[in-house]
Structure 1
Amino acid sequence: MLRTLFSALFSTFAATALSGAAGAAHAAPIYDFSPVTAGMQSFVQAHQLDGASLRVNKADNVVYRRAFGGYTLGTRVRIASASKWLSALTIARLVEKGQMRWGDTVGQYFPNAEPAKRGITLQQLFSHTSGLAYEEDSCLSNAFYTLTSCAYHILQQPMIGQPGTVFAYGGNSMQVAGRMAEIATGKAWDDIFIAEMIAPFGMTGTDYSGESTAPGYVRNNNPTIDRSVRSTLEDYGKVVDMVLAQGCLRVRPNGSCAADGRFLQPSTIAFMALDRSVGTVSLYRPPTATGFGYGLGQWIDPSSPSIVSSPGGVGFTPWVDWNKRIAGVLLVDDLNVRLVDDINDIRALIDVVTADGQGRRLQPTLPAQLPADAQRSAGKAIPQPMKASASGRR
């Protein structure tokens, strides 16, 4: 792993920052991301990745944007469970427009559902507390189904608990919610997503086509609402920028939201970040999410409720830290379970680099070469794993 490298970068940077603290106030107002760049380069090399990219927003300004390995800033990848955040924000737009309510029930849209399921709310469907089965239904990512038929198929399966009493991370419930949105608007999910997300953000590389490599926006009659998005660094970066800015798409230099820049109300952003897992019995969560809370389409960090994220099983990691005023996207397509420790270390490096909040840092002195255990030893190449399927969870 890269822990020795990251430890060296932390120590070197911290020592340099302290020694230069007196003169730092007069330095140019730019952040020195060289420790992060070194960490990302080693991350790609040590894990034998095709590539990766990183984008960082600090205090409503994009301060870092760089691609590594074979990736460019425009590389488009599947993002797995990072899809959940985008889908939840799409629903939030419909709620603010009055087309849906978080308290809407399954019974309102599926009157023939069995009685035990009719009281499940939209809020529960998007927080994994609905009581619906979490094991992936055979209709998900199945071209022989539509979103309509898939939702009906899921609602025929046995429940695993009473709504609101259990937490079970999975995609079935969000699939049902997606169909509810179609019924509420009279539109296909693709058209809803284009209107509520693609157009406002000016996205050019995002859709629900999963494994497709076709250019442009590819429609899907049965989009997997919780995990079939493919996206780019900049497209998703705009989304976390908005979340960091409490629902504002265009922030004025004075920090206020432009008259035409409001995407969601601050109260909605705050509502989505409330932990719905409190008081529930946890039946399933990914091993990388131990201790985390869950809001609407986003995890809540156990260290602070001001940190929210939605990592995918492929390692793609978007996050927002309101206290530190940081929003980031680390784009990668591999296996989150083997990358997560190093991704967390890179995020911690970003916190150190931007810690003063003013962007005034002296250049740190980095090690002349990477520590030996961070380099690939001869005859000890890191095994290349199979790529995670689109069903890869967090």
Structure 2
Amino acid sequence: MRAICVLFALIVTASARAAVVYDFTPVTQQINGLVQVTPDMNGASLVVMREGVVLYENQFGSFTPTTRVPIASASKWLSALTIERLVERGEMSWADTVGQYIASAPADKQTITLGQLFSHTSGLTHVGDACLGDHQNFSLASCADEILATPLENPPGTAFAYTGNGMQVGGRMAEIATGKAWAQIFADELTTPLGMADTRFNFGNANPQIAGGVSSTLADYSNIVRMVAQQGQWNGVTFLSAAGIANMQIDQTHGVPMTYAPDPFAFGYGYGEWRNSVDAQGTAIQVSSTGTFGSSPWVNNQTGVAAVFLTYSQDLDKTDIRLLWANVNSVVTDPVFSDGFDPSP
């Protein structure tokens, strides 16, 4: 009996001694450097998690853990996840068409699907309509009508053109499907159940900018990437199905030409998220939703890392975001063990 106890104690001791340490010094140095040299970048923050455990969190410059900033196109992921909740509950389908909800839409827009609207393959022009962000003169309904009245840039489903117009129409379809205002749908389906009290649309709710009008905090958005990395699980409860999360990461452009794409290095686009890297079978390894002001949430399915870089800068070089992804990946794939050896077989 004593021998068994001694063996157990040795195993526990070895496990404790084999604690993993990550050296995030290169990441810290990079972000400090960006804050110092980027003229309009007053600060930033970063959190890196694996399996729900925080590996690294730091604030830079004037940023604090509760700093809330406009996240621009990082809003797209949030809005797409909101729609996915409705899809999984059977209130909508990604295959639903504009004509099913907006009978007055012009004939050439009637067959555009909800999925095309959220994967930038609807054929709608990539030039943002003037109604986007106009909260005084438009409702979401009237903004969607104006967008649908504009000439198509391409036949639906034949080209990828990154635009906020499509998601604006998709948000209006969700309002009609649920009988609720988009801001209420967003709160009911996303921010409330995920505990994101400081995440909301800017400038009121009359005409929320579905694809780019959200402000959020590091803590709030970290809940999103953590849930996605855990294949839809949130605090032991299924928030979204693993199949739904995977479907959102499939290349929903289906390989059509990219006529306008701010990320020319991506391997297609899912619903509300870029496919930054893929494996030999085309399955997404990393997905992200970087905004024009520099905020970048991402999930790496290969390493299990979920991360959020939060900042607000119009001068930040977006290649620095890719370098940040690479630096974080290098750190988490090259751990140091506190006792000097890796106990894994």
TM-score (norm 2): 0.88
Q: State how far apart, in whole Å, the 2-side matches of 1:291 and 1:123 are.
A: 19
1:293 touches 1:302 (CA, 8 Å); kept in 2?
no
Give the structure 1 partner of residue 331 of structure 2. Answer: 353
- Which residue in the other structure is 1:320 paired with? 299
Find the counterpart in structure 1 of residue 8 from structure 2.
Answer: none
Equivalence for 1:134: 126
Aligned-partner Cα distance in 1 for 2:173–2:317: 35
* Larger strand proportion of the pair: 2
Task: Output aligned runs, 1:281-300, within 5 Å.
Answer: 281-286=257-262, 288-300=263-275
Q: Deviations over 1:214-246 (max 9, x none)?
A: xxxxx3200010000000001001100001000
Residues 31, 361 of structure 1: 8 Å contact kept: no
Q: Verify the 8 A CA contact 1:207 1:230 in the aligned structure 2.
A: yes
| Aligned-residue offset at 1:26 | 4.3
Q: C-alpha separation between the residues in 2 aligned to 1:239 and 1:362?
A: 34
Report percent identity of matched pairs.
47
1:233 aligns with 2:218: yes
Q: How far apart are the structure 1 equivalents of 2:331 and 2:314?
A: 27
Identify the match of residue 74 of structure 2 among 82, 90, 93: 82
Deviations 1:65-102 (A, max 9, x none): 11100110110000000000000000000011111111
Q: Distance in 2 between matches of 1:353 and 1:91?
A: 34
- For residue 99 of structure 1, the aligned residue among 79, 91, 110 is 91
Write the distance in 1 (CA, Å) between the matches of 2:298 and 2:110. Answer: 34
Indicate yes or no: 2:25 matched with 1:28.
Answer: no
Deviation by residue 1:234-282 (Cα, 9 ceiling, x = unmatched): 10011000010001112xxxxxxx2xx1110000000000112233122
Counterpart of 1:69 in structure 2 is 61
Contact 1:313 1:335 in 2 (8 A): yes
State the one-letter code of the partner of 1:328: A
Q: Does 2:317 match 1:342?
A: no
Q: Does 2:173 match 1:180?
A: yes
Distance 1:361 1:136, change over 3 A: farther
Within 2, Cα distance between the matches of 1:173 and 1:329?
A: 25
Determine the structure 2 residue equivalent to 1:385.
none
Query: Counterpart of 1:168?
Result: 161
The corresponding residue for 1:270 is: 246
Q: TM-score scaled by structure 1?
A: 0.78
Matched ranges for 1:142-161 at <5 A: 142-143=134-135, 144-161=137-154
Contact map agreement 2:43 2:59 (CA 8 A) in 1: yes
Report the equivalent of 2:7.
none
